[in-house]
Amino acid sequence: MSNTAINNLNVAKFGGTSVANFAAMQNCANIIKNNPNTKVVVVSASAGVTNLLVDIAHTAMSKEQIRQKLSEIDSIQQAILQALKNIDEVEPKLQQLQSSLSELALHEEINHRADLKDSLLSHGERMSSLLFSAVLNQFDVKAENFDVRNVLKTDSEFGQAVPNLEQIAIAAKQLMLPALVDSVLVTQGFVGSDQQGNTTTLGRGGSDFTAALLAEGLGAETCEIWTDVIGVYTTDPRITASARPLPELSFEEAAEMATFGAKVLHPATMEPALRQDIKVFVGSSKEPEKGGTWIVRDCVTEPSYRAITRRKEQVMVTVKTPKMMYAQGFLQKVFTIIAEHKLSVDLITTSEISVSFTLDNPANSVLKRLNQETIEELGQFCDVLVEENYDLVTVVGNNMHSAAGVSSKIFAAVADYNLRMICYGANPHNLSLLVNDSDSQDVVCALHRALFE
Ligand code: ASP
Ligand code: MG
């Protein structure tokens, strides 16, 4: 078989809740069966497993505590294994993974070496993909478990590895396409390998990104993201019960939403889709009959307001130098440091002697460490003020800075709240407000009422 593309290829990704247990996996098997174009399946770790692995990787624990966490992971996977008909075939492979997992978990340097952490984290997806391929076989879908590390090549930024697109495209066509003729490949989201072959990971929630990257590399037509909600909503339904699912979204809108905190999609997911014009579907594996959201290049409608997102745990950094008025290159220096730490800045305002910007600051993440290093380096040549306890609320839509009345409606809705920073995006698709975290829920509700209800 030559390495030519397969017509109408669909890559389907199933999130942690979709592969949480045998019954959930059974729903996914039906979804795969119902679409003969689904030839590549990307899975997350079973719900809860990655969090347990992150605990082991990040927290200093006694051997006893580590064993406790391992046994919690084990009982999640055992429950699935025991529901299989061909236990004998799968069990030795699962045991192998469990023993390499416990070896890493009990490694003396597990809390201190990023490469070991990534190897440890990869076990969640390696176990779920092994089990899910067995579930598919049991439901008469010929499936093979495929090690994504042979294809998903990255740099060596453990915990937040950057994919190498050329290598992925070549390897995906060479190693995956030929196998797709007569079988479904079940592979791991979130996991990759660097140039030396060390295991890497793409950052939390990275399985969506994996699916989009493989879809791109394989020249797929569509990429389905199956999760536990029936699509992308006007806002997080946990914030307001008035939130409603969206039938369609543009690539740009979806990218903005993911970047600014919508939890349904990993922020980088839309990049490959945009480059290759791959239609992305988001739906619930529990209720596939309810449909979902299609994310496409050209939508039927282009409303001024599409959705509202919230991103928590923002810090606002203000750097100040009395010399800024004269010092050309000050901004450049500031942003070089930020770039060197691979941080992305979302909001910026400047005055004559200061620059303020926001950084994402989720607890326990790689970003948190990078933020600290960045702030220390900035402190060497200017005054740095760090303010915490902010959330970012973003209205996503179209022609946000040109259509008359678009922003005035937004500001009228939030007139009662203290807005620490207001920013139009560099593109016409967002307007962001930095607010006190204690206000953010109310701000989202007020905006949702004014713009959507
Ligand atoms: N299992 C990983 C996580 O929980 C990746 C993913 O599910 O997308 O972050
Ligand atoms: Mg996810």
CATH numbers and ranges of domains, the chain: 3-228 (3.40.1160.10)
| Cα pseudo-dihedral 225, 231, 234, 240, rounded to 10 | -110
- What is the pLDDT confidence band of residue 342, given thresholds at 50, 70 and 90? confident
pLDDT of the residue at 67 = 98
Read off the pLDDT of each residue in 431-445 and give the average, rounded to a whole number: 97
pLDDT of the residue at 155 = 98
Nearest CA among 216, 120, 199 for reference residue 161: 199
- H or E segment to which residue 34 belongs: none
Question: Does the pLDDT value for residue 4 go beyond 70?
Answer: no
Q: Determine if ligand 1 sits within 6 Å of the CB of residue 129.
A: no
Q: Are 422 and 391 in contact (CB under 8 A)?
A: no
- What is the pLDDT confidence band of residue 123, given thresholds at 50, 70 and 90? very high
How many C-beta atoms surround the C-beta of residue 191 within 10 A?
29
- What is the pLDDT confidence band of residue 387, given thresholds at 50, 70 and 90? very high
- What is the pLDDT confidence band of residue 6, given thresholds at 50, 70 and 90? confident
- The Cα–Cα gap between 116 and 111 comes to 8
Compute, in angstroms, the gap from residue 57 CA to the centroid of ligand 1.
15
Nearest CA among 389, 259, 365 for reference residue 313: 389
For ligand 1, atom 8, the nearest C-alpha belongs to: 205
* Residue 126 assigned as binding residue: no
pLDDT of the residue at 366 = 65
Q: Determine if ligand 1 sits within 6 Å of the CB of residue 188.
A: no
Nearest CA among 330, 328, 367, 329 for reference residue 346: 367
pLDDT of the residue at 364 = 63
Helix (H, G, I), strand (E, B) or coil at 230: coil
Q: Are 412 and 398 in contact (CB under 8 A)?
A: no
Read off the pLDDT of each residue in 356-365 and give the average, rounded to a whole number: 80
Question: Does the pLDDT value for residue 1 go beyond 80?
Answer: no
Beta carbons within 8 Å of 46's beta carbon, 6+ residues apart: 16, 19, 20, 21, 76, 77, 80, 124, 127, 128, 131
* Residue 228 assigned as binding residue: yes
pLDDT of the residue at 427 = 83
pLDDT of the residue at 349 = 86
Compute, in angstroms, the gap from residue 16 CA to the centroid of ligand 1.
7
Beta carbons within 8 Å of 374's beta carbon, 6+ residues apart: 337, 338, 341, 343, 359
Q: Determine if ligand 1 sits within 6 Å of the CB of residue 207.
A: yes
Helix (H, G, I), strand (E, B) or coil at 121: helix
- What is the pLDDT confidence band of residue 353, given thresholds at 50, 70 and 90? confident
Nearest atom of ligand 1 to the alpha carbon of 266:
8
Compute, in angstroms, the gap from residue 223 CA to the centroid of ligand 2.
14
Question: Does the pLDDT value for residue 352 go beyond 90?
Answer: no
Compute, in angstroms, the gap from residue 114 CA to the centroid of ligand 2.
22
Q: Determine if ligand 1 sits within 6 Å of the CB of residue 443.
A: no
Tens digit of each residue's pLDDT (9 = 90 or more) over 274-324: 999 999 999 999 999 999 999 999 999 999 999 999 999 998 999 988 765
Mutate to test the pocket of ligand 1, among 46, 50, 263, 364 (most ligand atoms within 8 A of CB): 50
For ligand 1, atom 6, the nearest C-alpha belongs to: 205
- The Cα–Cα gap between 231 and 427 comes to 24
Average pLDDT, the chain: 93
pTM score, whole prediction:
0.90
* Residue 238 assigned as binding residue: yes
pLDDT of the residue at 341 = 85
CA 152 to chain centre: 16
Top-confidence range, 38-42, 315-319, 419-423 = 38-42
Q: Determine if ligand 1 sits within 6 Å of the CB of residue 269.
A: no
- H or E segment to which residue 27 belongs: helix 22-33
For ligand 1, atom 5, the nearest C-alpha belongs to: 205
Q: Determine if ligand 1 sits within 6 Å of the CB of residue 102.
A: no
Alpha helices in 34-176 (DSSP H): 49-58, 63-82, 87-105, 114-138, 165-171
Question: Residue 120 burial by CB count (10 A; 0-12/13-18/19+): exposed, middle or buried?
Answer: buried
Question: Does the pLDDT value for residue 2 go beyond 50?
Answer: no
Q: Are 203 and 54 in contact (CB under 8 A)?
A: no
- The Cα–Cα gap between 363 and 290 comes to 35
- H or E segment to which residue 404 belongs: none
Beta carbons within 8 Å of 171's beta carbon, 6+ residues apart: 150, 151, 153, 217
Compute, in angstroms, the gap from residue 451 CA to the centroid of ligand 1.
32
Nearest atom of ligand 1 to the alpha carbon of 51:
4
pLDDT of the residue at 405 = 85
Question: Does the pLDDT value for residue 330 go beyond 90?
Answer: no
How many residues can be counted in the chain? 453
pLDDT of the residue at 390 = 95
Tens digit of each residue's pLDDT (9 = 90 or more) over 155-166: 999 999 999 999
**Amino acid letter, residue 17:** T
Nearest CA among 327, 329, 45 for reference residue 207: 45
Tens digit of each residue's pLDDT (9 = 90 or more) over 192-243: 999 999 999 999 999 999 999 999 999 999 999 999 999 999 999 999 999 9
Compute, in angstroms, the gap from residue 206 CA to the centroid of ligand 1.
6
Nearest CA among 38, 34, 16 for reference residue 25: 16
Any idea which ligand is nearest the CA of 47? 1
Read off the pLDDT of each residue in 102-126 and give the average, rounded to a whole number: 98
pLDDT of the residue at 401 = 78
pLDDT of the residue at 327 = 62
Question: Does the pLDDT value for residue 384 go beyond 50?
Answer: yes
DSSP 137-178: HHTT--EEEE-GGGT-BB-S-TTSPPB-HHHHHHHIIIIIGG
Read off the pLDDT of each residue in 138-166 and give the average, rounded to a whole number: 97
Compute, in angstroms, the gap from residue 351 CA to the centroid of ligand 2.
38
